[in-house]
Amino acid sequence: MPPMCFPLLRVESSSMSAIGHSVDSVTSKQFASQFTCPVYHHRERAQINQRRLLRGIAMSQGRGRRNRKHHDKEKIINLGDKGREVMEDINENSQVIQQFHEYAAELDAKHDRYERIFKINRDVGIESKRIIFLLHTIDKESKRNAVLDTAKTRLDNVVQKLFRNIATELDGQDAYQFHRAYRAGIEEYIEALTFHEYLQNGDMQDWSALEKALTYHTTSSPTDSPEQSTSKTMQVMVTPTDYILGIADLTGELMRKCINNLAIGDVSSCYQTCNFVRKIYIAFLGYTSVVHNNEVNKKIITLKHSLTKMENACYTIKVRGSEIPKHMLADVAIAAAEEYATEDDEGYQAF
Annotated binding site for Mg(2+): 191, 253
Angstrom distance (rounded) from CA 287 to CA 297 = 10
Q: How far is CA 320 from the centre of its chain?
A: 46
**Gap between the Cα atoms of 237 and 110, Å rounded:** 18
**CA-CA distance, 233 to 215, in Å (whole number)?**
7
Residues marked as binding?
191, 253
Q: In angstroms, rounded to a whole number, what is the distance separating the alpha carbons of residues 304 and 349?
A: 12
What number of helices (H) and strands (E) belong to the chain? 14, 2
Which helix (H) or strand (E) covers residue 343, if one does? none
Phi/psi of residue 222, nearest 5 degrees:
-65, 150
What is the CA angle 332-337-343, rounded to 5?
Answer: 140
Longest dimension (CA), the chain: 135
